[in-house]
Amino acid sequence: MQVHCRESSVQSSRVSPSPLAHHSLHFGAGAGAGASPICAPAAMISQFFVLSLRGDNIVFRDYRGDVSKSSAEIFFRKVKFWKGEEGEEAPPVFNVDGVNYLHVKHSGLLFVATTRVNPSPALVLELLQRIARVTKDYLGVLNEDSLRKNFVLVYELLDEMIDFGYPQTTSTEGLKSFVFNEPVVVDAARIPSLGPAAMFVQGSKRVPGTAVTKSVVANDPSGKKREEVFVDIIEKISVTFNASGYVLTSEIDGTIQMKSYLTGSPEIKVGLNEDLTVGVRSSAPRDFVPDYSSGNSVGLVVLDDCNFHESVRLDDFETERALTLVPPDGEFPIMNYRMTQEFKPPFKVYPVIEEKGPFKAEVRLKVRADFASNITANMVILRVPMPKTTTRVSFALEEGAVGQTTDFKESTKVVEWCCRKIVGGSDHVLTAKLTLSQERNVNIKKEAGPISMTFTIPMYNASKLQVKYLQIVKKTKSYNPHRWVRYVTQANSYVIRT
Amino acid sequence: MNADSRKGELADLKAQLRQLAGSRQPGVEDIKRELYKKVISYMTIGIDVSSLFSEMVMCSATSDLVLKKMCYLYVGNYARGHPDLALLTINFLQKDCHDDDPMIRGLALRSLCSLRVKNLVEYLIGPLRSGLKDANGYVRTVAAMGVLKLYHIAPSQCTDNEFPAMLRALLLNDPDAQVVANCLCALQEIYTAEVNVSPETAARDREHLLSKPVIYSLLNRIKDFTEWAQCLVLDMVSKYVPSDSDESFDMMNILEDRLQHTNSAVVLAAIKVFLHLTISMADIHQQVYERIKAPLLTLVNSGSAEQTYAVLSHLHLLVLRAPVLFSNDYKHFYCRYSDPTYVKKLKLEMLTAVANETNTYEIVTELSEYAANVDVAIARESIRAVGKIALQQYDVNAIVDRLLQFLEMEKDYVTAETLVLVKDLLRKYPQWSHDCIAVVGSVSSKTVTEPKAKSALVWMLGEYAYDMPDAPYILEGFIENWIEEDSAQVRLELLTAVTKIFFKRPPESIKMLGAALSAGLADAHQDVHDRALLYYRLLQQGVEVAERVVNPAKQAVSVFADTQSSEIKDRIFDEFNSLSVVYQQPSYMFLDKEVRGPIELTEDSGILPLGPTIADDVLPSQLVDATDNDLLLSASDKEESVAAVSNGSHYSGPDLAGFESSSAPPRSTSSPSSTSQVTSTSAAAATSLLDFEDLLGLNTYEVSTPALFSLKLKTKPSLVAQAFQRKWGQLAVALTLDHTLSSPASLPTPQPLIRHMQSNLVEVMASGGKAPTFKFFFYAQAADSPSSSGFFLVELIVNTSTGFSQAKIKADDASLAPAFQELFLAILSSFGSN
């Protein structure tokens, strides 16, 4: 093989298939001259460690030996006692005595990297996130317990994912041949019922709860592997209503996520809405008064923008709106998208705040579930900050209320109303009577609110983006793996101003 | 106790391991595994298990991979601290390096290179050399990184054995992309470090790494690399300077689809390439901004909060650089309920930056909502943001209404922030005093507790004593509580306010003034005492003299001093996609020197002109205004106290004879020397004012040209209009220049730009035009040139709505034109960067 890299003949032959090729290559003074200096490369971490929320070291790996071993302690103290005007949380990136600490929170654990150089923060944070995800792929469940039980396996993974501080391969698939430890599987039943598996549960349409918590390497107790693939459409919605109930801003941030347990790397074709449009919206401010009556919010799905996983081929995207890929093992996002097109908000809230005498006030909240009656929202929680002078709150739930709880947090003066389930089309009302310590201020309305809301709605998606089909190229006639397409909508920032 | 039981446990482990070492009975591997796991878990939590070293090594003669890998991990962790024991491992590691299984070869080689023991280096060379030539890609990947590890232990042995040259060959030819990526990491680090050893060779090598063939070979296979390696490659590519714009376009076409990646690190690395490639093509650069907007916004909202923060920090940088391009996207910067505080803070700054005539109303409305937020930190920041927007805008009408609403909320922190805001607003828009005073008048001074807010209130009372009938009486209340006032800042402000009121409404305030001055003179705080003394002495010289100093006629502040110089901002931009963007600091401010490496050290000369350049950004006259007269005073106070101390032997305390107030402490007796003493101190104060002006760069023309530029300009070039016209007619256009001003909104009239240019030794010949388009003719002269030559003439057309500006440069000496162009661009881009 030719080695002399300064020879142009070698170069042009190597370059030829690319669009760059039509350029005559001339070296010497021109090409590299005046180039800016090379600094330390873009990514290099000194240490990686995982801490529990109590600050215990669960995994600790030193790659370069240029940061003190007590870094985990320094980091934890800094995060725990983060200085700030009023008790803010520590940012994901900070510097203490020349050492940069980068961390992500994941499953109640802190994944941390330290470095003395100036890397790309996005790269290090993405890497930490990826380490967490790959670890989850192997352990099935990621939490402190599973990590402690499997730390040797985690070291095996870390050895291959990072060498001398530089990221190497992080694909769940590619790492398989380097992992020799059998995962000790933690009992999935012990995960709280609102864990990732339960997120999709809708009525009786149950999907096997163990599937999403299955390790990619663990052997099934039954001895044979179940051939299945999951495609999840997860949408996080952000809506802000003004005091008159109009939508001020709204956005959907969606992810199509895949988790494949298919053997033999078959090709999969994921078909989306045929009339899907991407990125034609101008960035000009739009009219924020949606018109639902004419029903034009149904139909055409217009995304502002989207991005795709590396493995996705877009050959059929322009023509058929289909994504083609050979899914790698493990969980990964096929596509992320963002939409600011108007959509129908799943919940409407009608707050009434009134004074009832000099030391009394009343807050009445009505929630309407604006979706079909065969759909049920889970864990609907409303939080309402009350006036600072509130000393006591008494609640009155509607008659026959089931699975509803109320709470008033004295320290923050926040009322919390939790409904375990809300069926589509129903209304619910809460009345809260306040006792105030001072005579009512000028404007009690200004002092209560804004109301914020969190919820999860399985089998519902606000954008109307759909997976129309999921084709798996068949190896044999009898090959018919299980395919699961699941939808879920969650509140990201759902705010009703008062 | 605990330590004892641990010791016992270790001894136990030791014995068990020893027992198992030679055992071949079935199931022994499983027992070993359990023991090893125990050892590793102790290691993880920080217990020193190095005493087990020899037993661990003895047990490692095994074919069980799980055991082998745990042993490698253990050895790698303790070898450095126990070099003698590490020797024990060499044997089996070297043997494993020749194993048939490529994975074992790779693992062993990696462990061998990770020992970090200097006197074992000789055992490393052979396996490393064969590793680089191994038929298996995994082994070569490990070997490439191994070279770098070797370099860190023994640099000369690494280079003497020609390892870097071998990496260079692999870089261009290896079929395995990860091998290429690791070669790239290793070479970059080695060349950077080699600069200390042999600068010339290292410079040549670095240049080679950035040469066209290398860059193209990497770009052509960009998709073969893992996403992390792609980032590495893109980072390299961003440093490459293409020979022409066609090349730039080709590169951008190749990288276009990288902007659609789900990994934010890849997208940001690609964006850096785009930004750097187009930096000198203003219109394309702007198109790049438009192109990257949507992908960035998608990334901001698709990942975890931490990823959001990393991406948003970069978006924040771009927004602050070109707010005009994002003014329609303001709704994307609205805070979400679920955003952590660190994200919200960035968003507030972005909202402030993009506010313009068309969107201010909506932005301020939104910000006002946050002011009522339960999150106090965000509520405060929101009010500050409203204030900053008000200071940028011309129509503050609506904003004054908001202020009223803020004060109505009757929350202490809201009131406090609002008062500070109103004070700043009044300094810029004195014409709004009537409306604002009405607001301030409604505030009960008892609810104001924070020193900053109190100072602001006191300042306004002093400044607008004419418009506020009860100002003296409110102040009186403050002075009565002098002792309880903890903040020296507030007491200083009180002194000034009372003195100012005295000039305006003497009969009502004379008593209060006496009380304040005597309290001030008795104050334990040095600055308060000194200020009281200064005022007292000034008043002795006559009320007019005092008024001239304490309350001179003020110009409205047009631009508040920026906290960051444009040079720093440019450096951060150069370091796009690094921690510098998150910290909003160039790397030299937060990295250790030894880490930065020698190359960046040479750049450190850039720190030197920092002081003057900060002053350069703002017109000197504005700077004086912006720093407020009390800053002026506090600086002169210090001078004065120095003067007083220096001739302390003559010092005999203040002479109160001529002063009406009898409440001042009668500490002195009038002495013959006291008159001359007073004059000498006030003279000292006067000279100190001059010194102070020097400090602010008023007379610092000679330093105002940043030392970075090769071209120096003459301080007072003189060129009459006819000569200018003649030259303009005779000379051909040497160069043209396109540039987009960072904040064109700050240019309602041509004057600020003219003053900015003049402060940078570029004189104006003529200016004209009507908003939004202005035309200027500038001239400047190279230093050290004879009076009639060495001139540079510039015609500059600026569109203030887009910020787009175009310059034609003519020069007596065309060879100097490029240097001047560079300088001119630097001056131009430092304009209005607030």
The structural domains of chain B, with segments of one domain joined by +, span 566-617, 709-829
Say what percent of chain B tops pLDDT 90: 21
Nearest CA in chain B to A50: B44
Long-range contacts, stretch B146-150, CB < 8 angstroms, 24+ apart: B146/B109, B146/B110, B146/B112, B146/B113, B147/B186, B147/B190, B148/A164, B148/B182, B148/B185, B148/B186, B148/B189, B148/B190, B149/A164, B149/B113, B149/B114, B149/B116, B150/B113, B150/B121, B150/B124, B150/B125
Burial class from Cβ neighbours inside 10 Å (0-12, 13-18, 19+) for residue A13 reads: exposed
pLDDT of B136 reads 93
Query: What is residue B702's three-state secondary structure?
Result: helix
What single-letter DSSP state applies at residue A286? P
Contact criterion met (CB < 8 Å) for A441 and B208: no
The DSSP secondary structure of A63-100, one letter per residue, reads: SSS-S-TTHHHHHHHHHHT---TTSPPPPSEEEETTEE
- The band of B176, judged by pLDDT with boundaries at 50, 70 and 90, is very high
Please judge whether A41 and B235 are an interchain contact, meaning their C-beta atoms are less than 8 angstroms apart: yes
> Are the Cβ atoms of A32 and B211 closer than 8 angstroms?
yes
Check: CB of residue A270 under 8 Å from CB of residue A480: no
What average pLDDT does range B90-119 have in this prediction?
Answer: 88
| pLDDT tens profile A420-444 | 999 999 999 999 998 888 775 556 7
Q: Which of B211, B226, B236 sits opposite A169 (nearest CB)?
A: B226
The residue that leads in pLDDT, B10 or A286, is: B10
Q: Is residue B817's pLDDT more than 90?
A: no
Phi-psi region of A235 (alpha: psi -120 to 50; beta: other; left: phi over 0): beta
Tell me the domain boundaries of chain A: 47-178, 227-344+461-496, 347-458
Q: What is the mean pLDDT of residues B615-641?
A: 35
How sure is the predictor about B763, in pLDDT bands with cuts at 50, 70 and 90?
confident
Size of interface A-B (CB pairs under 8 A): 360
Q: Which of B383, B377, B468 is nearest to B425 (CA)?
A: B383
Identify the three-state secondary structure at position B780. strand
Q: How far is A202 from chain B (nearest CA, A)?
A: 25
**Residue in B102, B141, B147 with CA at minimum distance from that of residue B124:** B147
Of A407 and B540, more confident: A407
What confidence score (pLDDT) does residue A86 get? 58
Cβ-based contacts of A493 with chain B (< 8 Å):
336-339
A181·B66 Cβ contact <8 A: yes
The residue in chain B having the minimum alpha-carbon distance to the alpha carbon of residue A4 is: B169
Q: Which residues of B touch A103 (CB under 8 A)?
A: 306
Residue scoring higher pLDDT (B366 or A17): B366
* Nearest neighbour of A285 by CB, restricted to B103, B236, B328: B328
- Among the residues of B133-263, which ranges form H helices? 137-153, 155-160, 163-173, 177-194, 199-209, 212-220, 227-237, 245-255
Closest-CA residue of B relative to A249 is B331
Average pLDDT of span A40-57: 84
CATH architecture of B709-829: 2-Layer Sandwich (3.30)
Residue type, A201: V
Give A341 to chain B, closest Cα distance, Å.
Answer: 13
Classify A47-178 by CATH class. Answer: alpha beta
Chain A residue with minimum CA distance to B298 = A338
* Strand ranges inside B614-708, DSSP E: none
Higher pLDDT, B3 or B503: B503
Confidence class for position B8, pLDDT limits 50, 70, 90: confident
Indicate the residue of A15, A37, A128 with minimum beta-carbon distance to B220. A15
Residues sharing a CB contact under 8 Å with residue A322, sequence separation 6 or more, in sequence order: A269, A270, A271, A272, A316
- pLDDT of A146-177, one tens digit each? 999 898 899 999 999 999 999 999 988 889 88
Task: Nearest by CB to A120, from B184, B268, B377: name it.
Answer: B268
Question: How many other CB atoms are there within 10 angstroms of residue B566's CB atom?
Answer: 21
A164–B contact, CB cutoff 8 A = yes
**Does residue A418 carry a pLDDT above 90?**
yes
B263 CB neighbours in chain A (<8 A) are: 126, 310
Q: Quick check: A167 and B235 in contact, CB under 8 A?
A: no
Mutate to test the interface with A, among B259, B325, B362, B579 (most CBs of A within 10 A): B579
Distance from CA of B544 to the nearest CA of A (A): 44
Inform me whether the C-beta atom of residue A442 falls under 8 Å from chain B C-beta atoms.
yes
ipTM here = 0.83
Range from A45-49, A374-378, B279-283, B466-470 carrying the lowest mean pLDDT:
B466-470
Query: Does B261 sit within 8 Å of A240, measured CB to CB?
Result: no
Q: At A76, is the pLDDT very low, low, confident or very high (cuts 50, 70, 90)?
A: very high
- Which residues of chain B are within 8 Å of residue A438 when distances are taken between CB atoms? none
**Which letter does DSSP use for residue B550 in this model?**
H
pLDDT over 70 percentage in chain A: 78
A231 near B CB under 8 A: no
Residues within 8 A of B (CB atoms), A 245-274 only: 249, 251, 253, 255
* Beta carbons of B263 and A126 less than 8 Å apart: yes
pLDDT attached to residue B272: 95
**B contacts of A86 (beta carbons < 8 Å):** 375-377
| Owner of token pair 């298919």 | A262
Which pLDDT value is given to residue B64?
81
Instruction: State the residue for tokens 């039981």.
Output: B5
B313-326: average pLDDT: 92
Give the three-state DSSP class for B475: helix
**Candidate ranges B76-85, B114-123, B581-590, B654-663; pick with highest mean pLDDT:** B581-590
Cβ–Cβ gap A493/B338 under 8 Å? yes
- SS3 per residue for B409-455: CCCHHHHHHHHHHHHHHHHHCHHHHHHHHHHHHCCCHHHCCCHHHHH
Mean pLDDT of the A472-488 span: 83
Contact A353, A361 (CB under 8 A): yes
Q: Is the Cβ pair B342, A91 closer than 8 Å?
A: yes
Give the least confident one: A449-453, B47-51, B80-84, B675-679.
Answer: B675-679
**CATH assignment of A347-458, among 3.40.1190.20, 3.40.710.10, 2.60.40.1170, 3.50.50.60:** 2.60.40.1170
- Which CATH superfamily, name and number, covers A227-344+461-496? Mu homology domain, subdomain B (2.60.40.1170)
Which pLDDT belongs to residue B261?
93
Q: CA-to-CA distance for A340 and A428, rounded, in angstroms?
A: 29
| Matching fold, domains A227-344+461-496 and A347-458 | yes
